[in-house]
Chain A
Amino acid sequence: MSSEVSRGAELARRGRLPPERVALVDLLDRLLAGGVVVTGDLVLSIADIDLVRISLRVLITSVTESTKIEPESFYEPVWK
Chain B
Amino acid sequence: MTEIGTYVYAIARDADSPDPSGLEGVAGAPVRTVEQAGLVAYVSAVPLDQFGEEPLRRSLENLDWVADTARAHHHVVETVSEAVATAPVRLVTVYTGEEQVGALLERRHDAIAEVLSRVAGRSEWGVKAYAEQVLSPPPSSGDDQGTENPGTAYLKRRQANLRDRNDAWRHAVGEAERVNAALAAVAVASRRHRPQDPELSGREEWMVLNGAYLVDDDRADEFATTLDALRGQGLDLELTGPWAPYSFTDIDLNEASDEL
* Chain A residues near B (Cβ < 8 Å): 1, 4-5, 8-9, 11-13, 15-17, 19-20, 22-49, 52-53, 56-57, 59-62, 64-67, 74-80
Q: Chain B, interface size: which category?
A: 35 or more
Of chain B, the residue at the smallest CB distance from A74 is: B192
Contact of B238 among A8, A33, A49, A62 (CB under 8 A): A8
- On chain B, the residues within 8 Å of A66 by CB distance are 173, 195, 208
CB distance from B195 to the nearest CB of A (A): 5
Please pick, from B5, B66, B200, B223, the residue contacting A44 in the complex, using a CB distance under 8 A.
B5
Known contacts A8-B227, A36-B115: does B93 contact A45 (CB below 8 Å)?
yes
Contact A38 B200 (CB under 8 A): no
CB distance from B82 to the nearest CB of A (A): 7
B90/A44 in contact, CB under 8 A: no
Q: How far is the CB of B224 from chain A (nearest CB, A)?
A: 4
Q: A22-B71, A39-B256, A43-B96 are in contact. List 12 more A-B contacts (CB 8 A).
A: A9-B228, A12-B241, A26-B126, A28-B70, A33-B193, A34-B212, A35-B250, A36-B93, A42-B95, A42-B96, A52-B60, A75-B194
Q: Offer 5 A-B interface pairs, CB within 8 angstroms, sorted by A.
A: A8-B231, A16-B82, A35-B246, A39-B254, A40-B253
State A31–B187 Cα separation when bound (angstroms). 21
Of the candidates A9, A43, A44, A52, the one having the most CB atoms from chain B within 10 angstroms of its own CB is A44
Residue from A4, A12, A22, A32 within 8 A of B231 (CB atoms): A4
Interface, chain B (partner A; CB < 8 A) = 5, 8, 11, 48, 51-53, 56-57, 60-61, 66-67, 70-71, 73-75, 78, 82, 87-96, 100, 103-104, 112, 115, 118, 124, 126, 166, 169, 173, 184, 187-198, 200-201, 206-208, 210, 212, 214, 220-221, 223-224, 227-228, 231-232, 236-243, 245-256
Report the separation of the CA atoms of residues A24 and B64 in the bound assembly, to the nearest whole angstrom: 11
- Residues of B within 8 Å of A61, CB to CB, are 194-197
Please report the C-alpha to C-alpha distance between residue A14 and residue B90 in the assembled complex, in whole angstroms. Answer: 27
Residues of chain A with a CB closer than 8 A to B228's CB: 5, 8-9
- Report the minimal beta-carbon distance from B55 to chain A, rounded to whole angstroms: 10
CB of B78 within 8 A of CB of A19, answer yes
Q: How far is it, in angstroms, between the C-alpha of A34 and the C-alpha of B126 when the chains are bound?
A: 13
Query: What's the Cα separation between A15 and B125 when bound, in Å?
Result: 11
- Assembly CA distance A51 to B60 (angstroms): 10
Contact across chains for A20 and B71 when beta carbons are under 8 A apart: yes
